[in-house]
Copies of this chain bind each other. A is one copy, B any other.
Amino acid sequence: MGDKPTLYPVIMAGGSGTRFWPLSRQLFPKQLLKIIGDETLIQQTMRRVVKGAPPERVLISTNPAQAESIRVQLSEWKDALKDSFVLEPEGRNTAPAIALVALELVRRDPEAIMLVVPADHIVKGQRDFDAAVSLAASLALEGLLVTFGIKPIRAETGYGYIKPNTKTVLARQGKLKGYRVGRFVEKPNAMKAAQYLKAGDYYWNSGMFVWRAATILEEIRRHQPVLADGIDRIGRLINQGGAKAAIDEEYRLLPSISIDSGVMERSNKAAVVPVSFRWSDVGSWGSLDEVATKDRAGNIVGGRVVDIDSQRSVVYGDRRVVATIGLLDMVVVDTPDATLVCPKSRAQDVKKIVDILKQQGAPEHLEHLTVHRPWGSYTVLEEGPGYKVKRVTVHAGGRLSLQLHHKRSEHWVVIAGTARVTRGEEVFELHVGQSTAIPVETRHRLENFGQDTLHIIEVQNGPYLGEDDIVRFKDDYGRTAAS
C-alpha cells in the first residue's frame, strides 16, 4: 500500500426514521427519502463517495430490516455492492456498528483507511468534500482519528463542538488545514453553545470520520474495553464460522454507545479538518431551511399544495390536496395515512408523536402504505375487517416468490401490463381487465415477463391478513422471511 492510502467508504445506514415522520417511518428512515433533489439521501451519499473510491470498496452498515430497501435504492451499483452489507443484528448506537465494520475491513485489508459517512446527511460541494477526505486520509495514515469540522451557523445544542489546537498545523492542502483536537464538547447547553458560536474558533463535529480501521479498533480497546472484548469474541466466532445466532447474541450484549462520546471525546489521537463544503444533517423538519430551495415568501413546498399568504413554512403534500392559509413558520406534512402540523420551533417533538403511536401499537410509526420490494412495490389502498385491498406493481422482469397463504384467498385484476400467473398446476397470462382468484392453500406466483410495468389490484379475504402468512417455495431474491 505504501504512502497512498486505500480508502474504504463506509455508509452508516442504520438510523431509525423518527424525526422526519410522517415522511420517514421506522422501516423507511430519512436516508431513503428525497429530502432535496431527485435522488434519495443514501443515493446522493453513495454517488458522493464513489467519486473517490471504486464502488466495490464501499461498505454499508445497516440492519436486516432496512437492507432490502437500501439494496433497491442502490441497485445502480448492485453488482459492486454484492458483499458490501455489514448487518447489525440490532441497533447498538454507532460505536459497535463502526467496530463491526472495522473488524471486517482489517480482515480484508489490514491497512484499510475508513471514510465513515452517515447515509442521511446533505453535503454540497463535491470538490471541497474530496479535498477534505484526501487531507484527512493523510492524517489517518499517521494514526489519527480525523473528523470534519463544520463552521457553526447557529447555537445548536444537539451537536458536538470541537476547538482545534491551531498552534500546530498537522497537514495542509491549499486552504485546508488539519489540527489536533484541542477541546471536544458533546451537546453543550444553550449558553455554552452561544458562547462557542460567538467565539468563532469552535466547529461542529460533522459525524463524518476518517481513520485507519486498525487505529479505531485500538482506540476502542483503549477507551471502551468492554466493547472491544465483545468485538473480539464476535471476530473469533466469525473466523471459526460460528452460527449466526451466536454472533447476533454477542452483538446484542455490546454496550450501546456512540463513537463520539465513547472514543472521539476521550482519544488523544483526535484530529479535525475544518471544511468549507455546505453540510446539514437535516435533523428535523425545521432544519430544511438550511438546504432546501424556498419560494419568495420563504416557503418550502412540495406536492399538490394550494396556499394563500403563507410565509417561511414547510408544506409537503403528495397526491392529496393540502390547502394552507396564512401560515407563519409552520410545518405541514401530509402522507397517505398520516398528517403532521406543528410550528417549526416544535419540530423536534415529532419524536414524541412517534413514541405515542408506537405505544398505541399504531402501524403509522412503522411503515408506509407503500412498501418497496426487490420485485416492485405494493400500496395498501384500504384495510378493513376480513379484507385488504392493494395495488401491486411489478417491474419489467420482476417476479414474486412462488408462495401460498394459509389464511387468505386473493383476487387479482390486471389494470396495466401483462401478468404471467402460476396457480396450482396452471400457468397462464392475464391482460388488462382480466382477473383470477387464488384460493387459500394454493401455490401461486405473479410474474412480469413483459417490457412494461405490471399493475394489479389485489383483494385479499380471510380471517388473518398479516404479511407473515406466507410459505415461500422459490424466490429470485433469496428471501425466507415475509413477502
Residues of chain A at the chain B interface (Cβ within 8 Å): 21-22, 306, 308-309, 317, 320-327, 330, 332, 334, 336-343, 345-346, 349-350, 352-353, 356-357, 362, 364, 381-382, 384-387, 389, 391, 409, 411, 413, 415-416, 432-435, 437, 455, 457, 459, 461-462
Cα A322 to Cα B336 in complex, Å, equals: 11
Q: Please indicate the chain B residues that have their CB under 8 angstroms from the CB of A435 in the complex.
A: 411, 435, 437, 459
13 contacting pairs across A/B (C-beta < 8 A) = A22-B321, A321-B337, A321-B338, A323-B357, A324-B341, A325-B353, A339-B339, A384-B415, A386-B416, A387-B416, A411-B411, A411-B413, A433-B461
CB–CB B339/A320 < 8 A:
yes
Most buried by B among A386, A435, A462: A435
Q: Please indicate the chain B residues that have their CB under 8 angstroms from the CB of A411 in the complex.
A: 411, 413, 435
Q: Which residue of B lies closest to A381 (CB)?
A: B381
Q: Please indicate the chain B residues that have their CB under 8 angstroms from the CB of A327 in the complex.
A: 341-343
Cα A356 to Cα B349 in complex, Å, equals: 33
- Partner of A321 from B339, B343, B387, B391 at Cβ < 8 Å: B339
- Partner of A325 from B22, B323, B334, B350 at Cβ < 8 Å: B350
Closest Cβ–Cβ distance, residue A412 to chain B (whole Å): 10
CB–CB A341/B349 < 8 A:
no
CB–CB B353/A341 < 8 A:
no
CB–CB A459/B415 < 8 A:
yes
- Sorted from nearest, which 4 A-B pairs have the closest CB atoms? A325-B342, A387-B415, A433-B461, A321-B338
Most buried by B among A339, A381, A432: A339
Most buried by B among A434, A457, A462: A457
Cα A53 to Cα B108 in complex, Å, equals: 91
Closest Cβ–Cβ distance, residue A337 to chain B (whole Å): 5
CB–CB A413/B461 < 8 A:
yes
CB–CB A385/B416 < 8 A:
yes
Q: Please indicate the chain B residues that have their CB under 8 angstroms from the CB of A389 in the complex.
A: 381, 389, 391, 457
Closest Cβ–Cβ distance, residue A450 to chain B (whole Å): 16
Q: Please indicate the chain B residues that have their CB under 8 angstroms from the CB of A384 in the complex.
A: 415, 455
Most buried by B among A22, A306, A349: A306
Cα A461 to Cα B353 in complex, Å, equals: 40
**Apart from A325-B341, A327-B342, what 10 extra A-B contacts exist at CB < 8 Å?**
A320-B337, A321-B364, A323-B353, A324-B342, A334-B339, A339-B339, A381-B381, A384-B415, A389-B457, A435-B435
Q: Which residue of B lies closest to A408 (CB)?
A: B433
CB–CB B337/A325 < 8 A:
no
CB–CB A308/B353 < 8 A:
yes
